[in-house]
Amino acid sequence: MQAQTDVPRSDSNEPATRPPPRNADGRAILGTLPGDEMGAWDGFGSRPMIIDYDIVPEGSIVANNPYDQLISDPDRYDKIDLSEVPFKPWAWGLYQQRTRTRFEPYTRCKPSAGPRAVATAYGTQFVEFDDMQRIYMLPVGGPRHFRVVYLDGREHPDNPKPSYHGHSIGHWEGDTLVVDSVGFNEKMWIDAEGTPHTNQLHTIERFTRETYNTLKYEITIDDPGAYTQTWSSGFVMPWRPGEAFEFVCQDANMAADLMLGTEYESMDRSHLIFP
């Protein structure tokens, strides 16, 4: 399978093959150049675990589907197949329960990691600080938080304190940012569907700006507590122009249905909220 690299912005007349912006060293920049068009990577709505679509990065087992394609072809939901995800029995049972209740911590203003942290409401911004050898990932919507990726060659701490984002170290392979993360807590979900994990979770993420308007996201999940072997996923996000705005999760939260179950009759609200 090959990743789709020519997904145009739905609100732009820019050619999909416009090259990515580059720094003085010739490497693609994940964020915005000074004085260039501001924007963020839109992954919101790209979260259901769906298998074998053209956008799946090569080698993936399951992947998320771009929102624009999903709403134009809702029958794609019929192709959901999680049989290749190597769930341990308890993890499969928890996944099934979570998809029924949808008590997602993220909708109650808790940070997330992995695909859910990237595929957030109103997009995700990357800010590169070359002098500090760090990259900050900033969600526009959702919980007000940020994630730090250290590029200074440091190793993971021996016993990192478990956290929502974990401890992330990265390096560049050409135009691809490779991020290695450990030290996660078990209080969050790694996607909106409730794919389980434990504090043994170890992720390898790859961010590649293939064109000005497309960012390919790939992730490998290694969690011997929840899965019998490692597995991979990925999706492609379009660039959405626009300046970030103030978003206070508690005040601006429009996910009342997910928090309270006011409309979705299929959701089972008989279970306690945890996490």
The pLDDT of 199-227, averaged and rounded, is 93
The mean pLDDT of 94-115, rounded to a whole number, is 82
CA–CA separation, 74 and 67 (whole Å): 10
**pLDDT for residue 133:** 96
Is 69 a residue whose pLDDT tops 70?
no
pLDDT, average across residues 74-101: 72
User: In the predicted model, is pLDDT for residue 51 greater than 50?
Assistant: no
Instruction: Give kind and range of the element (H or E) at residue 233.
Output: strand 231-241
Phi and psi at 45, nearest 5°, equal: 90, 0
Rounded mean pLDDT of the chain? Answer: 76
Residue range 120-126: average pLDDT? 84
Question: Which residues contact residue 86 at a Cβ distance below 8 angstroms, ignoring those fewer than 6 apart?
Answer: 227, 228, 229, 231
The answer to whether residue 56 scores a pLDDT higher than 70 is no
Structure tokens at 243: 């300046």
pLDDT of residue 174: 94
Looking at residue 227, what DSSP letter applies?
B
This prediction has a pTM of 0.78
Tell me the sheet residues that pair with 203: 181, 221
Q: Please give the pLDDT value at position 260.
A: 56
Identify the residue with better confidence: 239 or 178.
Answer: 178
Q: Which of 36-40, 93-97, 152-156, 167-171 has the least mean pLDDT?
A: 36-40
Rounded Cα distance between 139 and 145, Å, is 7
Q: Is 74 exposed, middle or buried (0-12, 13-18, 19+ CB in 10 A)?
A: exposed
The whole-number pLDDT of residue 168 equals 97
pLDDT given at position 70 = 37
pLDDT in the model for residue 254: 58
Mind listing the pLDDT tens digit for each residue in 136-184?
A: 998 887 777 789 999 999 999 999 999 999 999 999 999 999 999 999 9
Are 12 and 157 in contact, with CB atoms under 8 Å apart?
no
pLDDT at residue 185, rounded to an integer: 95
Instruction: Name the more confident of 32 and 189.
Output: 189
Q: Is it the case that residue 206 has pLDDT exceeding 90? A: yes
Matching residue, tokens 């709403």:
71
Q: What would the pLDDT profile of 241-266 be if each residue is shown by its tens digit?
A: 877 777 777 665 555 555 555 555 55
pLDDT at 71: 35
Q: What is the pLDDT of residue 250?
A: 66
* pLDDT value, residue 110: 85
Using the predicted structure, report yes or no on whether residue 13 has a pLDDT greater than 60.
Answer: no
